[in-house]
């Protein structure tokens, strides 16, 4: 028998807002934060559209720690502090080795990489910044969260491109079920609005020139954003024993791989991950009310995801409420799944399905109910969150009301 794993805290920041309530407020209102990127360090990009955090919140993180962080680590730590505060986490000598963190990261500390290349190659400096190595490493975000919160249990980073958040949450569930921890802070982070990364994405020809329009016939591609999202996970018994408020329960996890192409998705991989998730959760297709789609806004993704949903859910596919919140917070790579988890938890709490913003034109290949432009009131007992990534790595989570 699986231990029941519940969520007792959520935290996040992205272009929509600098805490989870602000993010949800904008999602519910269907407001997209995608727009022109202000950053003057982005030089000669063709695509100048993204989803930026315009100003970081007051975070109270010690300056000595901040100077050793790249932006992705700072975002993760801010989100983790919010989630831990909501959960009322209190690490101390007796429990610190029973609490850990796993942070998903799609890229890494590219800000530091770029600063150093520019300093050495363009400005003729003869050495790199002293904190370059610790700033750059993909596992740095998990290390910083653990140091900031005092978590001495299982701590590591996970990377699987756009599925990193969901893989991190799934792995954190496993740590608790295996008895290695009582509490895990898990989620994802990324800060990809850096010249070198955007040049790379430009070359792939999948970036939209205007905005992200998932499932709309006139969609032109994805938009990159920055952000972080974190959840506090613990067993139901542990949460009850300490009197924590339970927000939702992780009902199931489904993982699969396409084993096909490094960038082109298949129908079978996502289909398998969704099926495995339902089985793991002990759910029938008709038990699911809301599906937070991967929904990147590329021609291929949205069509293939729609086909996979129909295979898994059959006739119930047309009764599901579906939306892609990437239409509002853009594709935050390693952070996407965790930001979308905030949408799922709040949809369950408030009985509101956040919409797919920027929708303009029906597409015969994407004919499911994608909640266009306006949120919908609906009792949500169970929600599913899809993450499908380059490399064909698929991670699907199911959450339900407690």
Task: Tell me the catalytic residues.
Answer: 162, 294, 331
Residue 203's Cβ-side half-sphere holds a number of Cα atoms within 13 Å equal to: 6
Q: Which of 402, 384, 374, 371 is nearest to 344 (CA)?
A: 384
CB neighbour list of residue 206: distance below 8 Å, 6 or more residues apart: 221, 222, 298
Alpha-carbon gap, residue 315 to 143, rounded angstroms: 45
Is residue 120 helix, strand or coil?
helix
Decide if 158 contacts 168 (C-beta within 8 A): yes
CB neighbour list of residue 250: distance below 8 Å, 6 or more residues apart: 5, 6, 7, 169, 173, 233, 397, 398, 399
Report CA torsion sign: 244, 341, 321, 22: positive
CB neighbour list of residue 169: distance below 8 Å, 6 or more residues apart: 102, 104, 186, 187, 231, 233, 250, 337, 338, 341, 397
CB neighbour list of residue 315: distance below 8 Å, 6 or more residues apart: none
Bridge partners, 388 (sequence order): 394
Is residue 311 helix, strand or coil?
helix
């Amino acid at each position: 028998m699986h231990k029941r794993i519940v969520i007792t805290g959520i935290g996040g920041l992205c272009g929509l807002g600098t805490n989870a309530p602000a993010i949800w407020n904008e999602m519910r209102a269907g407001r997209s934060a995608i727009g022109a990127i202000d950053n003057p360090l982005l030089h000669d990009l063709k695509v100048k559209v993204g989803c930026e955090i315009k100003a970081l919140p007051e975070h109270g993180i010690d300056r000595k720690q901040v100077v050793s962080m790249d932006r992705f680590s700072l975002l993760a730590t801010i989100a983790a502090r919010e989630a831990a505060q909501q959960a009322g986490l209190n690490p101390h000598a007796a429990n610190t080795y029973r609490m850990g963190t796993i942070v998903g990261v799609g890229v890494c500390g590219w800000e530091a990489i770029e600063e150093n290349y520019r300093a050495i190659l363009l400005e003729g400096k003869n050495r790199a910044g002293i904190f370059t190595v610790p700033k750059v490493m993909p596992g740095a975000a998990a290390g910083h969260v653990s140091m900031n919160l005092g978590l001495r249990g299982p701590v590591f980073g996970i990377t699987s491109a756009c599925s990193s958040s969901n893989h991190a949450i799934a792995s954190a569930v496993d740590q608790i079920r295996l008895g290695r921890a009582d509490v895990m802070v898990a989620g994802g982070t990324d800060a990809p609005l850096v010249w070198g990364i955007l040049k790379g994405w430009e070359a792939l020809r999948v970036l939209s020139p205007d905005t992200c329009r998932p499932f709309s016939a006139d969609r032109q591609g994805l938009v990159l954003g920055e952000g972080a999202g974190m959840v506090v996970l613990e067993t139901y018994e542990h949460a009850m024993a300490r009197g924590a408020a339970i927000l939702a329960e992780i009902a199931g996890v489904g993982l699969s791989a396409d084993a096909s192409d490094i960038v082109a998705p298949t129908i079978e991989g996502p289909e398998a991950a969704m099926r495995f998730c339902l089985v793991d959760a002990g759910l029938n297709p008709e038990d699911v009310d809301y599906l937070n789609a991967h929904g990147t806004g590329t021609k291929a993704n949205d069509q293939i995801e729609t086909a996979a949903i129909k295979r898994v859910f059959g006739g119930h596919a047309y009764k599901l409420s579906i939306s892609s919140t990437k239409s509002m917070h853009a594709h935050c790579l390693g952070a996407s799944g965790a930001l979308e988890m905030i949408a799922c938890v709040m949809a369950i709490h408030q009985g509101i399905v956040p919409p797919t913003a920027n929708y303009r034109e029906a597409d015969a290949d994407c004919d499911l109910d994608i909640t266009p432009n306006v949120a919908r009131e609906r009792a949500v007992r169970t929600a599913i969150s899809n993450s499908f990534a380059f490399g064909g790595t698929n991670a699907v989570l199911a959450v339900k009301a407690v």
